[in-house]
Amino acid sequence: MNMIKHTGRILLAGLILGYACIAPASAQYRISGKISDRSGEPLAGAAVTIRGMKGSGTMADSEGRYSLLLPDNEPHTITASYIGFMTQSRTVKPDSRLGQDFTLAENPVTLEQVVVTGTRTPKTLMDSPITTRVITDLDIRKSDASNVQDLLQMELPGIEFSFSMDQQVNINFQGFGGNSVLFLIDGERVAGETLDNVDYNRLNLDNVERIEIVKGAASSLYGSNAVGGVINLITKDSSEPWSVNLSTRYGAHNSRQYDGSIGISSGKVSNTLNAQYNAIDTYNVGGEGDFDTVYGNEVLSFKDRLVYTPAENLKLTARAGYYERERDSDVLVKDRYRDLSGGVKGEWSIDDDATLEVSYAYDEYNKSDYLTTEKTDLLNYSNVQHNVRTLFNYTFGKTGTLTAGGDFMNDYLMSYQFEDGGSKSQITADGFVQFDWNAFKNFNIIGAVRYDWFSERKLSSFAPKLGLMYKAENEKAGHFTFRGSYAKGFRAPSLKEMYMSFDMASIFMIYGNPDLQPEVSHNFLLSAEYFKKYFNVTVSGFFNMVSDGISTVWNQELRGMYYTNLASTNIAGADLTFSMRLPCGVGTKLAYTYTKEYTTDGSPSLSTTRPHSLTARVEYGRDWKNYGFNLSLNGRFLSPFTTHVYASSDYKTLARQHYPGYTIWKLVLSQSIWKGIRLNMIVDNLFNYRPKYYYSNSPATVGTTFAAGLALAIEEMMTKN
């Protein structure tokens, strides 16, 4: 017994001595810190791992804090990652146990961005069977675009804004005009138009969270006007207890912009109020061309969004907005545009599988002449829309999602373009159903059909859609996604196009046509996408068959222009996009579009579609504790083209016209000087391009210009570190 005790003591002493000898080589140590985004918001659920050790790591808690035990007394590389943000790594040593905080930057290449426009149900970009392009809040800040026109042209090739008659703004979106591209704000239509285009000044970028773009026909979900695509501006909801944001921007031609927003969120209620004022003076381009003066204007807008969540499964949203613009087109008479909008929406999660949404939207858009000498405002145009919508979603487990809904809209139009300034109105109603089916692993099929009815002439239309998506995922090789779709688009003739009777400055008359047929497009699309960690490549090809396009042509018997259905046209092309963002702060985005538009009967084309267009951005950014910057060079190239135009001498005969191409570059330095303070410095038209002749689709630039902007996030400035 004594022998056993003695032997045990010897073994225990040996084990203690042996542990003491190896302890320095195997001692553990713990590190801790916080993971947040650039604005200081915690990233709950962010992952922290040890490089080279599978299964090791931890996750950040609700406050973004983490604690991680390192297995030995050696240096290790730890990595912090979070969906939608750039991964960040650093080396830690035993003497750096505390204060390992990470500030992650948003990753614009990620495919985890949630979108809704393509399917009307929330899906990530990676999982959406409908090809969707997203312009994020980060993209908007980096571009320093002062309006939606500048932003879309900077981010999307194949889109061009130009002047039409009286310097009204016109869009060409890969062969489709303004009346064939549907613009939405939070999924709602925008009332009013001028020369077939909505008032793009209404679509300001204040409080915009993202912009979703679906190219091609989308009438199966959105009805009339969604012939060539849908562009949906989605606003932010307030999530912080309180926030106050102020910004200002000043640039060439005395352009100035002032923005302010106040947000609160307390318990079941949140509210965001936004106000914006922007203006630019009239200026002379100082060159030869179809115009030599660009009209100035002033814009004032207010938006309020109230969200009330009385229960976990019920969300109520109310919104209201006011917009006013005055254009200096004449010394004695100024153009005025006003809009009053509002709406309510209820979203009910019936159970884990079913949701129901009911909404009502009101939009009233007015135009008037303001007589400066008499100080009198003469109303000459009013478009009022009342729209009621229901939307129901039911999810069958992992099998798929059924979506069904309908709209009922009353559309009223009073216009100076009607005989004796009269008015017209019509009722439109529709119903649609869609099934998003996960046929088997990594293969998705989506099908939809919609029926629309219009009270004028009892017009109706069926619009089907079919989409296929296959995903091939490999951790090492990356993610491949293949999509193919067919969709029908249509556009019913508007009240203006059916009943117009307008004397065009005593030069000729423009007549409506109550016998117009709906414009129809058949869109075919194939795309392949590759994504791996820091970069993304997408290649797609499209083909549109457009019949019964609606436009005005000269009629000798009437001795004027009148609306009619045109000969069929085909629009074919391809898109290529490449984007990359590296952890070192270097990023690039390149997008190219080729578009070919032609009539099927060989008749002269009046198209203003440029065959080649390209957008590019190269950037570099870094962040430190109290300072960060991002320097980006943004460019766009548009190729020359030749088309037919009506001769200005008689507006009857067609003549060939050649328009030159051009390239514009913009340099933006964005700086985060201290928490909550951001300063932008901009050099526009960096290489001093000026058109030799100013056409309606030439940029109205006078050469290189400079601008600066300052933004203050008051709540960030007052938050303690």
The CATH number given to whatever domain includes residue 129 is: 2.40.170.20
Strands 102-104 and 29-37, by their bridges, are: parallel
Q: Is residue 350 scored above 50 in pLDDT?
A: yes
- Domain end call among 41, 76, 104: 104
State how far the Cα of 394 lies from the Cα of 356, in Å rounded to an integer: 9
State how far the Cα of 696 lies from the Cα of 46, in Å rounded to an integer: 51
pLDDT reported for residue 91: 80
Q: Are 128 and 186 in contact (CB under 8 A)?
A: no
Average pLDDT for residues 215-243, to the nearest whole number? 91
Q: Is residue 420 scored above 50 in pLDDT?
A: yes
pLDDT reported for residue 12: 40
Sign of CA dihedral 144, 148, 150, 156: positive
**Are both 64 and 133 inside the same structural domain?**
no
Residue in the block written with tokens 């080589």: 25
Q: Report the candidate in 226, 233, 231 with the shortest Cα–Cα distance to residue 523.
A: 226
Question: What's the number of domains the chain is made of?
Answer: 2
Q: Are 44 and 62 in contact (CB under 8 A)?
A: yes
pLDDT reported for residue 627: 87
Average pLDDT for residues 385-395, to the nearest whole number? 97
> Partners of 709 in the beta sheet?
249, 680
Q: What are 501-518's pLDDT values in tens digits?
A: 998 877 789 999 999 999
Q: Is residue 8 scored above 60 in pLDDT?
A: no
pLDDT reported for residue 407: 97
Cβ burial of 478 (10 Å; 0-12, 13-18, 19+) is middle
- Domain end call among 104, 125, 141: 104
What stretches of 123-231 show up as alpha helix (H) in DSSP?
137-143, 148-155, 219-222
Quick one: which H or E segment has residue 481?
strand 478-491
Average pLDDT for residues 599-621, to the nearest whole number? 90
Amino acid at 539: V
State how far the Cα of 436 lies from the Cα of 121, in Å rounded to an integer: 10
Q: Which residues of 397-423 are buried (b: 16+ CB within 10 A; e: fewer)?
A: eeebbbbebbbebebbbbbebbeeeee
**Are both 84 and 230 inside the same structural domain?**
no
| 44-53, 269-278, 650-659: which is most confident | 269-278
Cα dist. 612→154, 381, 592, 636 in Å? 15, 38, 8, 11
Q: Is residue 111 scored above 90 in pLDDT?
A: no
Average pLDDT for residues 581-596, to the nearest whole number? 91
**Are both 56 and 153 inside the same structural domain?**
no
pLDDT reported for residue 109: 62
Average pLDDT for residues 594-603, to the nearest whole number? 90
Looking at 424-428, 517-521, 715-719, which range is the least confident one? 715-719
**Are both 194 and 99 inside the same structural domain?**
no
**Are both 99 and 119 inside the same structural domain?**
no
Percent of the residues in the chain that have a pLDDT greater than 70, as a whole number? 93
**Are both 340 and 436 inside the same structural domain?**
yes
**Are both 205 and 90 inside the same structural domain?**
no
The more confident residue out of 330 and 74 is: 330
Q: Is residue 9 scored above 90 in pLDDT?
A: no
Cα dist. 246→257, 324, 721 in Å? 11, 21, 21
On whether residue 287 sits in a domain, the answer given is yes
**Are both 545 and 503 inside the same structural domain?**
yes
Average pLDDT, the chain: 89
Helix, strand, coil shares of the chain as percentages rounded to 5? 10, 60, 30
Q: Are 150 and 204 in contact (CB under 8 A)?
A: no
Q: Is residue 142 scored above 70 in pLDDT?
A: yes
Angle CA 675–680–686, to nearest 5 = 155
> Partners of 44 in the beta sheet?
none
pLDDT reported for residue 7: 39
**Are both 354 and 419 inside the same structural domain?**
yes
**Are both 100 and 120 inside the same structural domain?**
no
On whether residue 623 sits in a domain, the answer given is yes
Q: Is residue 626 scored above 90 in pLDDT?
A: no
On whether residue 308 sits in a domain, the answer given is yes
Using 50, 70 and 90 to split pLDDT, how confident is the model at 649? low
Percent of the residues in the chain that have a pLDDT greater than 90, as a whole number? 63
pLDDT reported for residue 84: 64
**Are both 92 and 241 inside the same structural domain?**
no
pTM: 0.86
On whether residue 8 sits in a domain, the answer given is no
pLDDT reported for residue 110: 63
Amino acid at 117: T
- Domain end call among 104, 137, 154: 104
The more confident residue out of 536 and 76 is: 536
CATH label of the domain that carries residue 85: 2.60.40.1120
Tokens coding 629: 């910057």
Looking at 110-124, 349-363, 679-693, which range is the least confident one? 110-124
Q: Is residue 172 scored above 80 in pLDDT?
A: yes
Q: Is residue 582 scored above 90 in pLDDT?
A: no
Q: Is residue 13 scored above 60 in pLDDT?
A: no
On whether residue 15 sits in a domain, the answer given is no
> Partners of 31 in the beta sheet?
68
Q: Is residue 20 scored above 60 in pLDDT?
A: no
Terminal-residue alpha carbon distance, the chain? 65
Average pLDDT for residues 629-640, to the nearest whole number? 95
State how far the Cα of 68 lies from the Cα of 214, in Å rounded to an integer: 44
On whether residue 75 sits in a domain, the answer given is yes
- Residue 375 CB partners (closer than 8 Å, separation 6+): none
Using 50, 70 and 90 to split pLDDT, how confident is the model at 16? very low
Tokens coding 483: 């999509």
pLDDT reported for residue 18: 40
pLDDT reported for residue 585: 82
Which residues constitute the domain of residue 73? 27-104
pLDDT reported for residue 690: 96
> In this structure, what is the dihedral angle of CA atoms 491, 495, 496, 500, given to the nearest 10 degrees?
130
On whether residue 547 sits in a domain, the answer given is yes
SS3 132: coil
On whether residue 604 sits in a domain, the answer given is yes
Q: Is residue 458 scored above 70 in pLDDT?
A: yes
Q: Report the candidate in 138, 262, 137, 236 with the shortest Cα–Cα distance to residue 714.
A: 262
**Are both 400 and 534 inside the same structural domain?**
yes
pLDDT reported for residue 57: 77
State how far the Cα of 50 lies from the Cα of 56, in Å rounded to an integer: 6
